[in-house]
Amino acid sequence: MTAETAHPAGTTTGGCLCGAVRYSFTGEPLMQAVCHCKNCQRQAGSGWSMLIALPLDAVSVAGEVRTYVDHSETGNEVHRQFCPTCGSPVFTRVPAQPSMIFIKAGSLDDTTGFKPQMQFWTASKQDWVEIAGVPGMAGNPG
């Protein structure tokens, strides 16, 4: 099977570090954002988490993920999904938005299309982080 037959044109692919979890999606993301909340910083091991929001039915997943049930700074439940083999964070699910999935943009095979449109939880942003030209909000949208 060639790459052309495995993934039709317009399909975006990605996965975890070890390759045990792979995903693909077609279409444009509903949102591309950077989250600066403390829990995203801890999960990413970085100053932020890059997220792509998609309708759940637009994403195809191969492989099993484990889920850590977390709570946001507002108390909402957040399901952080990762590869059980290598530990790479791959998805975030929010029960309050069951038809949505948030893909960790750093897990994309090709990140050149990632262009953040918004920053969330800038009140928790690391002092050394500055993303020019991307509007932000102190907390969570909605």
How confident is the model at residue 65, as a pLDDT? 98
Alpha-carbon distances of 80 from 5, 39, 126, 134, rounded to whole Å = 31, 10, 21, 25
How confident is the model at residue 4, as a pLDDT? 37
* 131 lies in some domain: no
* 3 lies in some domain: no
The total number of structural domains that make up the chain? 1
What b/e readout covers 61-85, taking b as 16+ CB neighbours within 10 angstroms? bebebeeeeeebeeeeebbbbbbee
Alpha-carbon distances of 101 from 2, 14, 40, 96, 137, rounded to whole Å = 28, 14, 15, 11, 21
C-alpha–C-alpha distance, residues 2 and 8, integer Å:
11
The residue whose two tokens read 């108390």 is 75
Q: Is 101 exposed, middle or buried (0-12, 13-18, 19+ CB in 10 A)?
A: buried
Residue 105 has pLDDT above 50, yes or no: yes
* 88 lies in some domain: yes
Quote the mean pLDDT of the chain.
90
* 115 lies in some domain: yes
- Give whichever of 13-22, 40-49, 66-75, 117-126 has the largest mean pLDDT: 13-22
State the average pLDDT over residues 4-18: 75
How confident is the model at residue 8, as a pLDDT? 52
Instruction: Provide the pLDDT confidence category of residue 142 given band limits of 50, 70 and 90.
Output: low
How confident is the model at residue 5, as a pLDDT? 37
* 45 lies in some domain: yes
Domain of 66 in residue numbering reads as 11-124
The enclosing domain of 67 has a CATH number of 3.90.1590.10
% of the chain residues with pLDDT over 70: 93
How confident is the model at residue 1, as a pLDDT? 31
State the average pLDDT over residues 79-106: 96
State the average pLDDT over residues 108-128: 92
